[in-house]
Amino acid sequence: MVIAVASGKGGTGKTTVAVGLAIVTGRAQLLDCDVEEPNAHLFLHPRLTERSPVTILVPEVDAERCTRCGLCAEACQFHAIAVMAKQVLVFPELCHGCGACALACAENAIREVPREVGAVESGKAGKTDFVHGRLNVGEPMATPVIRAVKAHLDGRPLAIIDAAPGTACPVVEAVKSSDFCLLVTEPTPFGLSDLGLAVEVMEKMAVPCGVVINRSGEGDEPTEAFCASRELPMLGRIRFDRRIAEAYAHGQHPVYALPELGRRFEEILERTLDCARGGRR
Amino acid sequence: MKELVVISGKGGTGKTTILASFAALAGRSVLADCDVDAPDLHLLLHPKIHAQAEFRAGQVAHIDEERCLQCGRCREVCRFGAITPEFSVEPLDCEGCGACRVVCPAEAIELRERVAGTWFRGQTKYGPMVYARLRPAEENSGKLVALVRKEARVQAERDGIELLLTDGPPGIGCPVIASLGNADLALVVTEPTPSGIHDLERVLTLCRHFRVPAMVCVNKFDLNPSLDRQVREYCARSQIAVTESIPFDESVTKAIQQGVPLVEFNHGPASQAVSAVWHQIMAKLVSK
């Protein structure tokens, strides 16, 4: 069973929830797919024992063979190749690594070479197997690194994926093919607006989802009404408590600071698994 | 014209709260919301929309069933697993690269343009505002960000406004890079948490990479005063200016719930600190 944790808005508590679920289950696999800003390791404190680079294939043009016919530049949809009078320029940051240029080249003058865009690191924290990805700073495209993290999914009974915030391709790549997605929100107009967008993403991907309200307390009603109207299961609420924010600020997962939270996460996990098994939306 | 962009690395550190207050304090500026995935600034500034338009970008492959020979070449070359065994294209997986079209012997594949989002132009009581919404699950957010910033500049020139305030997205990827390039100053908002600091370092590296001067602001600093000091020391060593820190204040959430900029909601501790930050930012922008 693969459970993803996502949210439209950033800072709603995805990582707190994903790591909390991993802590209360014990033997899960936790994959941090927020490769732009991976944070789960800061609260789970795994021993990272393996590291492998993530590469994409970019073209290298053999000047001897190249006739500057321009077929490669015409095939490239990302403007990553420009054919000049005397040479061919490649812009690696624009290249998506699709290989269309090499396929289009009539002279067999393009060789594809790996270029590092990030890395995947893995290790253990207690019984939790931990994997995360890191996009190199300055690289625009997160998706190849996310794919590389997800290649570590090993089919065990429970894997938890921590996704990036937003509603665009990094979220799609992280959540894709999960059995269920837990959406973390907060009871503000920002939280609700971005929850609505996140639900649309899940519908488009046909991934069933449910909602956790973090920092719950005053002002939950609009979020509850939205969930009821869209038939989204309410998986749990985590009440606002300054002690949670302070524990987090000190690098401690809040379940260790407020033991009653452990029970809360167990309930969220139980409901999530029930919904996921039932395939309920 | 000067452009200030507010970014953060980590999400939820308070970018939009701070930028909306800046809009109120500036009196007259052009506002651009570049968080096109999950735009929220309009929920505080309530623009009256004057114009909206579709944003077209990127492509998706389409296979003509009649012409397709089902030879399988397209499936072999597609590196994104976007072509099903039945030879249809899964749009969420398709990168729009056209490698399939290059190899198709039957000329059965064409690339079609995607409608990736919508952008809006409107008027708030603080000045004109441009923002956009990427369609859920779409790509090309970087290009949409570039469009929002370009339109905001056009608006500023037309109305003779000298200040552009840009609300950036979280992260360090393509939409952040598109929000940052050529800005006059980046205000990086962080919080005194291990994730806030981890992400701050990455986003400051990004600012250096694109040669945009940065200033750092610690929000909710009293959640961990020792990390607040650590950020100040780190910035001092790296010769990056730090603004006054903003205290944790529950009225920030209440202002959002009321849908008004914090500095217009009350004059509590966070509100006063945001005003102080604004004066420091203006001094820095003018001195450049």
Instruction: Provide the chain A residues 45-74 that lie in CB contact (below 8 A) with chain B.
Output: none
Q: Is residue A231 part of a domain?
A: yes
A180 and A245 fall within a common domain: yes
State mean pLDDT over B211-225.
97
A103 and A202 fall within a common domain: no
Could you tell me the CATH number of the domain that includes residue A89? 3.30.70.20
Question: Which two structure tokens, joined as six digits, stand for A82?
Answer: 């420009």
Res A205 pLDDT > 90:
yes
State mean pLDDT over B37-50.
97
Say which residues have a Cβ less than 8 Å from residue A114's Cβ, sequence separation at least 6.
A55, A56, A57, A58
Q: From the candidates A77, A178, A183, A195, which should be mutated to test the interface with B, based on the most B CB atoms within 10 A?
A: A77
> Would strands A47-61 and A234-239 be described as parallel, antiparallel, or unpaired?
unpaired
Query: Rg of the Cα trace of chain A?
Result: 22
Residue whose token pair is 């949670």: A244
Q: pLDDT digit string (tens) for B59-111?
A: 999 999 999 999 999 999 999 999 999 999 999 999 999 999 999 999 999 99
In this structure, chain B runs to a length of: 288
Say which residues have a Cβ less than 8 Å from residue B269's Cβ, sequence separation at least 6.
B247, B249
- Dihedral of CA atoms B79, B83, B89, B90 in degrees, nearest 10, equals -70
Q: Which residues pair with B131 in a beta bridge?
A: B33, B120
A10 and A76 fall within a common domain: no
Residue A36 with chain B: CB contacts under 8 Å: 170-173, 176, 202
A179 and A260 fall within a common domain: yes
Res B217 pLDDT > 70:
yes
Chain B residue at shortest CA distance from A247? B223
pTM: 0.94
Q: Which helix (H) or strand (E) holds B258?
A: helix B251-258
Chain A residue at shortest CA distance from B211? A138
Considering chain B, what percentage of its residues have pLDDT values greater than 70?
A: 100
Mean pLDDT (chain B) is 96
Q: Measured between alpha carbons, how far is A217 from A240 in angstroms, rounded to an integer? A: 6
Q: Is residue A252 part of a domain?
A: yes
Query: Rg of the Cα trace of chain B?
Result: 22
Considering chain A, what percentage of its residues have pLDDT values greater than 90?
A: 96
Q: From the candidates B17, B55, B92, B102, which should be mutated to test the interface with A, based on the most A CB atoms within 10 A?
A: B102
**How many domains in chain A?**
2
Q: Is residue A211 part of a domain?
A: yes
* A36 near B CB under 8 A: yes
Q: E-assigned strands of A75-201?
A: 81-83, 88-90, 110-125, 128-135, 159-162, 180-185
pLDDT value, residue A279? 54
Contact A141, A117 (CB under 8 A): yes
Contact B188, B7 (CB under 8 A): yes
A168 and A258 fall within a common domain: yes
Instruction: Name the DSSP class of B16.
Output: H
Q: Is residue A39 part of a domain?
A: no
Domains and their CATH numbers in chain B: 2-55+117-287 (3.40.50.300), 65-107 (3.30.70.20)
Instruction: Provide the chain A residues 110-139 that lie in CB contact (below 8 A) with chain B.
Output: 135, 137-139
Residue among A61, A63, A92, A60 at smallest CA distance from A79: A92
In this structure, chain A runs to a length of: 281
Q: Do A42 and B248 touch (CB under 8 A)?
A: no
Q: Is residue A21 part of a domain?
A: yes
Res A203 pLDDT > 80:
yes
Contact A262, A24 (CB under 8 A): yes
How buried is B166 (Cβ within 10 angstroms: 0-12 exposed, 13-18 middle, 19+ buried)?
buried
Greatest Cα-to-Cα distance within chain B, rounded to the nearest angstrom: 70
pLDDT value, residue B270? 98
Contact A37, A99 (CB under 8 A): no
A8 and A85 fall within a common domain: no
pLDDT value, residue A280? 45
Residue A205 with chain B: CB contacts under 8 Å: 92, 137
| Cα torsion A170, A173, A176, A181: sign | negative
Res B1 pLDDT > 80:
yes
Q: CA A71 from chain center: how many Å?
A: 36
- Dihedral of CA atoms A114, A118, A124, A129 in degrees, nearest 10, equals -80
Q: Measured between alpha carbons, how far is A104 from B83 in angstroms, rounded to an integer? A: 19
Q: pLDDT digit string (tens) for A208-225?
A: 999 999 999 989 999 999
Q: pLDDT digit string (tens) for B64-73?
A: 999 999 999 9
Residue among B128, B130, B108, B107 at smallest CA distance from B118: B130
A222 and A171 fall within a common domain: yes
Distances in whole angstroms, Cα of residue A51 to Cα of each of A121, A134, A146, B198:
4, 10, 15, 19
Res A278 pLDDT > 90:
no
Q: Is residue A161 part of a domain?
A: yes
Q: From the candidates B195, B212, B245, which should be mutated to test the interface with A, based on the most A CB atoms within 10 A?
A: B195
pLDDT value, residue B287? 85
* B115 near A CB under 8 A: no
Helices (H), ranges, A128-259: 143-150, 169-175, 189-205, 221-229, 242-249, 254-257
Helices (H), ranges, A76-212: 100-104, 143-150, 169-175, 189-205
Q: Is residue A151 part of a domain?
A: no
pLDDT value, residue B139? 84
Residue B253 with chain A: CB contacts under 8 Å: 188, 215, 219
Q: What count of Cα atoms within 13 Å lies in the side-chain half-sphere of residue A116? A: 10
pLDDT value, residue B213? 97
Domain that holds residue A215: 2-28+156-278
Q: Do A190 and B194 touch (CB under 8 A)?
A: no
A255 and A162 fall within a common domain: yes
For the residues of B123-187, what is the DSSP string, one character each? Answer: EETTEEEEEEEEPTT-S-HHHHHHHHHHHHHHHHHHHT--EEEEEPPSSSSHHHHHHHTT-SEEE
Residue A173 with chain B: CB contacts under 8 Å: none
Q: Measured between alpha carbons, how far is A195 from A197 in angstroms, rounded to an integer? A: 5
* Residue A266 φ/ψ, nearest 5 degrees: -60, -40
A210 and A102 fall within a common domain: no
Q: Measured between alpha carbons, how far is B84 from B91 in angstroms, rounded to an integer? A: 11
Residue B43 with chain A: CB contacts under 8 Å: 189-190, 193
Q: Is residue A136 part of a domain?
A: no
Q: pLDDT digit string (tens) for A1-57?
A: 999 999 999 999 999 999 999 999 988 999 999 999 999 999 999 999 999 999 999
A94 and A197 fall within a common domain: no
Q: Measured between alpha carbons, how far is A174 from A50 in angstroms, rounded to an integer? A: 21
A97 and A234 fall within a common domain: no
Q: Which helix (H) or strand (E) holds A53?
A: strand A47-61
Residue B79 with chain A: CB contacts under 8 Å: 97-99
Residue among B30, B32, B208, B60 at smallest CA distance from B140: B60
Instruction: Name the DSSP class of B222.
Output: G
Q: From the candidates A176, A190, A197, A240, which should be mutated to test the interface with B, based on the most B CB atoms within 10 A?
A: A190
- Dihedral of CA atoms A136, B245, A164, A15 in degrees, nearest 10, equals 110
Q: Measured between alpha carbons, how far is B232 from B188 in angstroms, rounded to an integer? A: 13
If phi > 0 it is left, if psi is from -120 to 50 it is alpha, else beta; for residue B220 that is left
ipTM of the complex: 0.92
Helices (H) and strands (E) in chain B, counts: 11, 9
A24 and A69 fall within a common domain: no
Q: pLDDT digit string (tens) for A149-196?
A: 999 999 999 999 999 999 999 999 999 999 999 999 999 999 999 999
Res A281 pLDDT > 50:
no
Q: At what angle do helices A189-205 and B251-258 cross, to 10 degrees?
A: 70
State mean pLDDT over B210-217.
97
Task: Point out the domain boundary residue: A93, A116, A139.
Answer: A116
Could you tell me the CATH number of the domain that includes residue A199? 3.40.50.300
* A281 near B CB under 8 A: no
